[in-house]
Structure 1
Amino acid sequence: MSELSVNEAIDRIYASLKADNQDLDENIAVLKVAMADEGVKEAVFEPTKLAQNNRQGRKLMQAYFRKKGVSVSFSNA
């Protein structure tokens, strides 16, 4: 399997979220590797692409990803 960029890994996570979290843990692991390869410290997500685009949903996502070792923030766009 070829290595993905951080942006490609984030796109896969959006797809997982839309598919009721299918393969989410695997895609988080791929994102973590891509971030390490590119030297990125924080994954930035667009809130408008999230299933739960409210404060509670974003905080839940941040907490879950933090447990998996990925720091998450959200863009203003």
Structure 2
Amino acid sequence: MSEPTVADATNRIYESLNADNADIDLHIATLKAALTREGLKEAVFDPAKLVQNNRSGRKLMQAYFRQRGVTVKFSVT
């Protein structure tokens, strides 16, 4: 089986967030590996797909991911 892409890992994180953060740490690790493979420095998320699409929710997500070595940015919709 091939390694997941950043897009695949990002989609799994959206699914995890909607499922009350089920396996979120596993998905963050997968995303981190995919970012490294693709030579990217940060993950970009669509705020419209987030469960907590407010400033505090986005900041909490950024802090949690940063603790696990992933920089999070949000796309402008």
Q: Which TM-score bucket, shorter chain as reference?
A: over 0.9
- Where structure 1 has 5 or more consecutive residues not aligned to the other structure, the ranges are none
Q: 1:41 offset after TM fit, Å?
A: 0.3
> What is the RMSD computed on CA atoms of the aligned residues?
0.7
Residues 23-69 of structure 1, C-alpha deviation per residue, up to 9 Å, x if partnerless? 00000000000000000100000000000000000000000000000
Matches within 5 A, 1:1-77: 1-77=1-77
Identity %: 64
Flag as ranges the 4+ runs of structure 1 deviating above 2 A.
none
> Number of aligned pairs?
77
Counterpart residue type for residue 76 of structure 1: V
TM-score (norm 1): 0.98
Q: 1:2 offset after TM fit, Å?
A: 2.8
- Where structure 2 has 5 or more consecutive residues not aligned to the other structure, the ranges are none
Tell me, in whole angstroms, the C-alpha distance in 2 between the residues paired with 1:25 and 1:13. Answer: 9
TM-score (norm 2): 0.98
Q: 1:16 offset after TM fit, Å?
A: 0.2
